[in-house]
Amino acid sequence: MSAEGYDESRIIDGKVLAQQIEEEVRSGVEDLESNRGVTPVLATILVGDDPASRMYVRLKHKACERVGIRAEDYLLPAEASQEELASLIDTLNKNKDVHAILLQLPLPKHLSPQEAMETIDPAKDADGFHPYNMGKLMIGDEGLVPCTPHGVIRALEEYNVPVKGKNVVIIGHSNVVGKPMAAMFLNRNATVSVCHVFTDNLKKYTLGADILVVAAGVKHLIKVDMVKEEAVIFDVGITKEESGVYGDVDFENVIKKASLITPVPGGVGPLTIAMLMKHVLMCTETNF
């Protein structure tokens, strides 16, 4: 048992796995620099001055520093128009010295994130949100896919969790996590159920899950009586309160039943950023 009283063998340590992925990226960056004289460049676009978005951009830039990627900041005021945002993206698309582009979400309410994402060159789409990349994912051609689902799949591989034929339940059907996650599991021949806010009797679904991915953003939505023994659980949700940071899963109780579970924080978050670094490297290899 760990010092906190948890069985560490049940915890998927996102920080350790993220370090491993970053090491792979750092090695790839060094190869590019020594063999082709190219340093990967990630352009990050931030519209407005949202504190949480600023923090996420900082975390991504720190990861860039660790792996040798050069991060460039592009800031637009909160009142920027859709046309101004599109014009900036178009400039970055045409800039041969920029290999990957990241648009930090959420955008101010008057802007369409989907329209903006569609403006990004699919080959520079570090987040994997462009319809072209999403479409490739749907037909089983997984290249630049959304970072969080990619991180979940990588963790399953690292922990030798079988997926083929397993019952997978995903809670949340966003374009960022739920839908691409479902496609990635289907590509690996799992049986997939996608639940959401309109699902009747959520517990009926979660009790049958061999693998459960929860991305609802509702603190402790998943209680211990909603999961089966030895389930593998990925908690993607995050709720910040004065008392601390919480996931969608009642970790303290559910860990007693789960065979593997990600903590919040320190689980899926670091993996997501590490996979972003991997995508920047992929973009650079494609675009040079």
Per residue in 74-116, pLDDT tens?
999 999 999 999 999 999 999 999 999 999 999 999 999 999 9
What share of residues in the chain are helix, strand, coil (percent, to 5)? 45, 15, 40
Q: What's the average model confidence in pLDDT over 61-82? A: 98
Q: Which pTM does this prediction carry?
A: 0.95
Instruction: Look up residue 207 and give its DSSP letter.
Output: T
User: Does residue 229 register a pLDDT over 50?
Assistant: yes
pLDDT at 227: 98
pLDDT at 6: 76
159 φ/ψ angles, rounded to the nearest 5 degrees: -95, 10
User: Does residue 2 register a pLDDT over 50?
Assistant: no
The sheet carrying 41-47 orders its strands as 70-76, 41-47, 100-103
56-90 as b/e: b if 16+ CB within 10 A: bbeebbebbebbbbbbbebebeeebeeeebbebbe
Residues serving a catalytic function are 60, 104, 127
User: Does residue 29 register a pLDDT over 70?
Assistant: yes
pLDDT at 5: 63
